[in-house]
Amino acid sequence: MLLLVGLGNPGPEYADTRHNVGFRVIDEIVARHGFEPWRSRFHGLISKGRVEGVEALALKPMTFMNNSGVAVSEAARFHKIERNAIVVFHDEIDLAPGKLKAKLGGGSAGHNGLKSIEGHLGPDFRRVRIGVGHPGERHQVARYLTNARFDKDDEIWLEPLIDAMVDAVPLLAAEGGDAKFTNKVALLTKPPKAKKSAGDEEDE
């Protein structure tokens, strides 16, 4: 079984903020892959489904970001899910908007949700880092993540990125899934090459 975790904060005041992009991705995965309706369990909301024939459990911790590890560890232990089968979708300020990286293990880079999960399970779970950009100044980070919502300009890159992630998520169930997933998302979000016309040729 895969455990697909989206990180975020509960409540309408945090909806569509950068810190909640993990919630948004998981919501789309559940909706478009035909998972069961959400229900409350493990200090969060869970939904069961399948990706590429593999049973999967989607989880949105309702503990607030700083205590995400409570929900993730309870779900993982109850269902006896190995840490390398836990995939956490989360925001990453050190990646440019629209960029994505998936890997097993790594540091928390100051992300409180990851810190909490590491505290309960150790570092050896899988992470999908979703670039949301940096505000430029360190003291602006907290407000940038939890108060500033995605605007129309953000949606230009965000919607195609989430669409690509939802399409590619079955690859996470395969061997070498993190690299395959990352490559598929990059391919799906790559802008088409502009066609050269005869007038674009340089004169010799």
Task: Say which residue the tokens 């989880």 belong to.
Answer: 59
Exposed / middle / buried, residue 65 (Cβ in 10 Å: 0-12, 13-18, 19+): buried
Distance of alpha carbon 135 from alpha carbon 145, whole angstroms: 9
Distance of alpha carbon 38 from alpha carbon 45, whole angstroms: 6
Exposed / middle / buried, residue 123 (Cβ in 10 Å: 0-12, 13-18, 19+): middle
Q: How many residues does the chain have?
A: 204
Query: What residues act catalytically?
Result: 19
Give the bridge partners for 89, in sequence order. 6, 128
Beta strands 44-51 and 86-92, pairing class = unpaired
Give the bridge partners for 129, in sequence order. 90, 101
